[in-house]
Amino acid sequence: MGTKTQEHEWVGRSNALTKLRGGAFKYACLGTALFGIVTLLVLLAYVTLDAIELQEAEPIWFAILGVTFVLPVALFGWYVWGTPAADVAKTSVGGVLLAAGLGGFFIVAFTIITPHVWAAYVVFAVFPAIAAVRYGDRLPAIDGSGPAVMATVTLGAIVATVFLEPITAIFAMAKPWLLYLLTLAIPTATALIWWSRTREDRAATIAAAATVGGTIALGLLVEVGVLETGGAPIVFLIGFVLPATIVLAHGYRRGPEARAGLLALPTLVGGVVALVAVAWAQGVPMPNSWIRPEFYLEGPSRTPENAGLYPPIVGSVFMLIVMVVAVFPLGVGAAIYLEEYAPNNRLTRLIRINLTNLAGVPSVVYGLLGLAIIARHFGLGRGTVITAGLTVGLLVLPIVIIASQEAIRSVPDSVREASYGMGASRWQTTREVVLPEAFPGILTGTILALGRAIGETAPLIMIGASTSVSSAPTELFGNATAMPLQIFSWQSRVQPDFRYGVVAAGVITLLVILLGMNAAAIILRNRLEKR
């Protein structure tokens, strides 16, 4: 484009002013896009520092931290950077951390549901239902397994509920670890193997074996008397070992080069252990972090030093269980109807329009609904766990429905056509073809919705949940408490140790749990959709 003598206007770049204006606009846009994110990051950095009180640590401690933890981790990162091992390192660390989270969830969930109650429902409702799925077709009187399953589940649940006391009394004679083995570990392992039977997935078999074997091993330790009762370790193991083994086995199978990534976990754990050991040996105090084991084992207190988050965590998990039981089937059912069944008529249009509007109703208004209808009219009580769970459940129901609709819609129509073309009915097509395909998406959407639910505060206040509950709820009609509610109640205290210590630790905990749920949802979706 060179010219010798003549000056053309179109040669070279556009004039400087236009260029400056364009560039300024572009970076202004980028700046506005980043403003919110950067602000949030800065605030998160502050609250993290406050929660672990890093600024008060001694310089020597930072030196030890650098040598024992930061340096090895950085070296390892540099070594695997850009190789397949980096990917394995990320997934193995992330997967194992999430598995640990699941184990923690199991511990809390099984303090709410005792092993005897669990066993009662499994034995009376779940086992017969599995038998019905397997053999329902063979009963001449029943047409197909569907009604048989529904009947057995309903009947079993009613029987278990009505006769809960005598049944649990009988089960109480068995050792808890044995109950967990028979009603949790073995069924989960079997289900996993059954589910992956066509996938030639050795990881599933190993994971199943590790779970059952580990449970038995812990049970034997209980028998010998090394472990006290063994409830918490066993349920943690069942929640943890299965997913962790699968993640590690998949990492291992990625080939010798990628396998080095599995060392990420030992490096991190070893770094922390070394840090604690060296600091202790040198007599250097660890930072006075507010995030410490006692914080998760104790209840709220007047003094910041003794304040803990245990009851709210149990309350949140309890509410989650209520929500999953109540909302998941409803939401998926509604989504199936809207996507697979709904004729194009006025009722359908009403439902669709209503759904978008419901998603925009403020959460306090749901609180009023819960207060007036669920607590008052249905008589479930103000501020009870069940009222709280159902209220927040209704709040996230539209989200679950919309996410499930999207997942169902993304199933290609060609497989539906194939199914209908073979003489499958609508229900058969839905159950056999559409739902299995849409399941990862539905699961992801539901987990994300539950994440939203876990952070909700306003509806809980509106239904009259007390902000000063000091003990964990043990039954459905107990007083509800939840993590965000506790944070709300703590932050009205003006002592700096509360405002910049206990609350900061609570906020970090809540955010980490949310982050874990979101990460789990995304990982699950990616993994399941790859298959």
Partner 1 sequence: MEGIPMSGDVSQREWQRPEAKVRKERIYEYVLLGCATLTVAITIGIIFTLFSDAVYFFQEYAGLLEGSTADAVREFVAGKEWVPTIEPYSYGLLPLLSGTIVITVAAAAVALPCGLGAAIYLSEYARPTTRAYLKPALEVLAGVPTIVYGYFALAYVTPFLDRFLDLSTFNALSASIMMGIMIIPMVSSISEDAMSAVPDSLRAAGYGLGATKFDVSTRVVVPAAFSGIVSSFILAFSRAIGETMIVTVAAGQNPKMLILDPTRLDENLYDSVQTITSAMVQAAGSDTAGGTPVFWSMFALGLALFVVTFVMNVIADVIQRRYREAY
Partner 2 sequence: MSDNHQTTTDAQTPTGDDSDPIVNVSRSLEDLSKEATTRTTSRSDRTLIETRDLDVYYGDERAISSVDVEIPERQVTALIGPSGCGKSTFLRCINRMNDRIDVCRVEGQVEFDGKNVYDEDVDPVALRREIGIVFQQPNPFPKSIYDNVAFGLRVQGLDDEVDERVHRALERAALLEEIEGRLDESGLELSGGQQQRLCIARAIATDPDVILMDEPASALDPIATSRIEDLIDELSEEYTVVIVTHNMQQAARISDKTAVFLTGGELVEFDDTDKIFENPEHQRVEDYITGKFG
Question: Under the rule (CB under 8 A), what is the footprint of partner 2?
Answer: 137, 198, 200, 344, 412, 414-425, 428, 432-433, 436-437
Q: What is the CA 274 to chain-centroid distance, rounded? A: 31
Applying the rule CB under 8 A, the residues between 431 and 460 that interact with partner 1 are 451-452, 454-458
* Distance (Å) of CA 246 to CA 91, 181, 243: 11, 20, 5
- CA 509, 98, 473: angle at the middle one, nearest 5? 50
Residue with Cβ nearer partner 2 (66 or 436): 436
Are the beta carbons of 374 and 463 closer than 8 angstroms? Answer: yes
Report 106-145 residues binding partner 1 (CB under 8 A): 143-144
Closer of 254 and 431 to partner 1 (Cβ): 431
Looking at 372-502, list the stretches that DSSP marks H as alpha helix, in order from N- to C-terminal side: 385-409, 413-421, 426-429, 435-454, 458-462, 483-491, 496-497
Minimum CB–partner distance for residue 348 and partner 2 (Å)? 11
Q: Which does 272 bind (CB under 5 to 8 A by kind): partner 2, partner 1, none?
A: none
* Site track 36-75 with partner 1 (rule: CB under 8 A), x = hit: xx-xx--x--xx----------------------------
**Which 345-384 positions form the footprint of partner 1 (CB under 8 A)?**
347, 350-351, 354-358, 360-369, 371-373, 382
The tokens for 5 are 């003598």
CB of 340 to partner 2, least distance (A): 11
| Coil, strand or helix at 10 | coil
Residues 467-506 that bind partner 1 (CB under 8 A): 467, 484, 487-488, 491, 499-500, 503
261 contacts 250 by C-beta, under 8 angstroms: no
What distance in Å separates the CA atoms of residue 268 and residue 111, rounded to the nearest whole number? 30
Q: What is the smallest separation between the CB atom of 228 and partner 2, expressed in angstroms?
A: 46
Asked if residue 323 binds partner 1 (CB under 8 A), the reply is no
Residue 286 DSSP one-character state: P
Q: Binding partner 1 by CB under 8 A: which of 115, 311, 331, 478? A: 331
The item of partner 1, partner 2, none sharing an interface with residue 433, based on CB under 5 to 8 Å by kind, is partner 2
Non-local CB neighbours of 326 within 8 Å, separated by 6+ positions: 389, 390, 393
528 near partner 1 (CB under 8 A): no
Assess 280 for contact with partner 1 (CB under 8 A). no
User: By CB under 8 A, how many residues form the interface with partner 1?
Assistant: 87
Residue 397: name its binding partner from partner 1, partner 2, none (Cβ under 5 to 8 Å by kind): partner 1
Beta-bridge mates of residue 479: 384
* H-helix segments, 66-180: 71-80, 84-112, 115-121, 127-135, 145-162, 164-171, 176-180
